[in-house]
Structure formats: structure tokens, C-alpha cells
Chains A and B, each alone.
Chain A
Amino acid sequence: GAVVSQHPSWVICKSGTSVKIECRSLDFQATTMFWYRQFPKQSLMLMATSNEGSKATYEQGVEKDKFLINHASLTLSTLTVTSAHPEDSSFYICSAPSRTSGNYEQYFGPGTRLTVT
């Protein structure tokens, strides 16, 4: 199946700094990628849809100025958490759809665990 990578797998940063997370589709092209956030013992919550060559679409309640998304190429989307605070500590996961047999299957990256101190 298709492979999606994320980097870094974990990061610790100080409050007020910015952190960039990369999501790459390794063996297929993805015009769309999705960014999710998962707090402990909760389900995945969609944050935004990243669109290659255009602006991201953010879900209700997600601040677009705080979570900057850039989808610069067909294989790379980045999420930058700006001015991070402890409440932004979470597990961030990206996914990219790849079409098989007429249906889109979502391939998930391994996730990035962000801890803000």
C-alpha cells in the first residue's frame, strides 16, 4: 500500500516558539492531505484539509493563524504550530487519500507527538 511519512515523530518545545511538522506521501501524489489532532484517550479530530496550490480549509474552531498549513508540492504538506502553548500538546497525524479501485483509501502518517513546556 501507499506510504505516508511524518517528521519529526516527536518534538518538545518551549511555550511561545513555533514548530513545523512535515507530512510526505512517499510513493504517490496527493493533491489533498488532512491534518488531525488527537488528545489523550480521545478520537482523531480533523483540523484542516490541505490543498496543493491553494489555501487550506479549516474546520470550525481551528485557528488558521495559529496552525499554518502549506501544501507546496504534490507530495508534501507542512503544519506549523505558531506560538505554541502547553494546551497545544497533542498527537498530530496527517493522512493522504490514494485512489484504489475507484475509492479513496486514507493512508496515515505515523504521527508527531508535540509536547509544549
Chain B
Amino acid sequence: EDKVVQSPLSLVVHEGDTVTLNCSYEVTNFRSLLWYKQEKKAPTFLFMLTSSGIEKKSGRLSSILDKKELFSILNITATQTGDSAVYLCAVATGTASKLTFGTGTRLQVTL
């Protein structure tokens, strides 16, 4: 059975802090690892990672994948209150890229 585990489950930080969210996985027929941000509605796409060691960046967010150790991290620097959300990690497998989601990390950024 495919498994995706995220840590920590929840996190409270002060505005301006840097956070690192973790995602490890055990799946068969790996295609890609994806990060999503979920506020009140459906998840919004952040990154898709397919190759090891290549950092993807978007503003204050960055992510990297390690396919040997089967994990990924999502970094957020200089956090803002608008970063408060649940961050979901998902792994796509198979020819149609079925997604298995982790439990999510609930991030709260306080003033």
C-alpha cells in the first residue's frame, strides 16, 4: 500500500521565521511528488518534483526531492500570516498519476 507521511503535523511560528516541512514516502511506480497549499477550499498547486537534487523555487517557497532517501522538504522563508494554511504533500504513481496524499502540516504564522 502506498504511504506518504508528513511532519510535523502542526506548527506555529512567528512572522519572519523560516520553516521546513517534511514529506517521506513509500510507493510503487513513482512518477512525481507534489506540494499543495490548502486554505478553505480545494488545494492549490505549489510544486511538482520529479528529479532528485534539483531545487524548485517560487518566491519565498522552495522545495527539493531526494529519490534515494524517499523524501522531500518544503521551505518557506520570511513567513507571513498569509502563509497560514495546511500544506499537503502528494505522490503521483502509475500511468494516470493517481495521487496519494500525506496527512498535511497545519502551519500557523502569528504576528
Contacts and interface: CB of A to CB of B under 8 A. Distances in A.
A107 B97 CA distance: 11
Q: Interface residues of B: mostly helix, strand, loop or mixed?
A: strand
B26 to A, nearest CB: 16
Interface stretch (B12-20, B54-62, B63-71, B101-109): B101-109
Which residue, of B99, B100, B102, B103, has the highest number of chain A Cβ atoms within 10 A?
B99
Q: Interface residues of A: mostly helix, strand, loop or mixed?
A: strand
Contacts, number: 58
A42 interface: yes
A108 B31 contact: no
> Which range contains the number of B residues in contact with the other chain?
20 to 34
B101 A106 contact: no
B34 interface: yes
Interface string B45-81: 1001010000000000000000000000000000000
B99 A103 contact: no
A46 B45 CA distance: 17
Interface in A33-63: 34, 36, 41-46, 49
A93 interface: yes
Please give me the 4 A-B residue pairs with the lowest Cβ-Cβ distance, nearest first: A104-B97, A32-B96, A108-B42, A111-B42
